[in-house]
Amino acid sequence: MKVTKFFDTKKFPLLSKSIDSVLLRVDYPWRFDSMIFILDDTNYFKLKDGEAEIHLDYGLVYHEDERFLKSAVMRIIFAMITSLNNMSTGVRIIDEILANREMSRKGFGEDLFYYYYLKFLGKKEIDTIEKYIEMNVPWLSIEGYDSQVLREMVERISSQHGKAFQRKAKKLLDVLSKDLNNEKNLKNAIKWHKKIA
């Protein structure tokens, strides 16, 4: 598979190195002739005619933390893997949890925790139910002690509206915390997300 980077690798060597490292670490039978990495306004991917286009948030080039960069690239790679494995639901938050859990299952849970921990450090007060639900994705994706740390961070960030948001999102968060590979749980998660969104 040919890997192409549509950005100046000499100007952004750490990002380039992070992409290479992730592709070596992630064991997956890629079914593409080429994989293209592009800097863009946000993270997303497109799959078409034997080609994968991975769009990375331009803001990543300002990070000098290689572990954070690798974790950010790995998240989008696992989102793509989830889609390739026909696990996508079309609901962004649920798809993100599925991708994150797959990433953890493959042994990259610490990288995922590190990514979210750093993302949370700069977060301001959460002021909408949508942002509140989105901020719960990290702890719903990771098991054990790390999950509890992230959950407590959400509670601190949402202290002003937290109780109201908790009540409104309780059923959704309860079902999102379950095994989403179970078809019944997945359908319930989609149902509750529609009710709130």
Tens of pLDDT, residue by residue over 122-154, are: 777 788 889 899 999 999 999 887 899 999 888
pLDDT tens column, 143-190: 887 899 999 888 888 877 778 888 999 999 999 999 999 999 999 999
Write down the pLDDT at residue 75: 96
pTM over 0.95: no
pLDDT tens column, 46-68: 999 899 999 999 999 888 999 99
Write down the pLDDT at residue 73: 97
Question: Which residue spans within the chain are E strands per DSSP?
Answer: 2-6, 34-40, 44-48, 51-57
CATH topology for the 1-64 domain: Double Stranded RNA Binding Domain (3.30.160)
Which DSSP helix (H) or strand (E) runs through 68? helix 66-84
% of the chain surpassing 90 pLDDT: 75
The rounded distance, in Å, linking the Cα atoms of 188 and 179 is 11
Write down the pLDDT at residue 189: 96
Residue 37 neighbours by CB under 8 Å, 6+ apart: 3, 4, 5, 6, 7, 19, 54, 56
Residue 87 neighbours by CB under 8 Å, 6+ apart: 95, 98, 102
- Domain-by-domain residue ranges, the chain? 1-64, 87-197
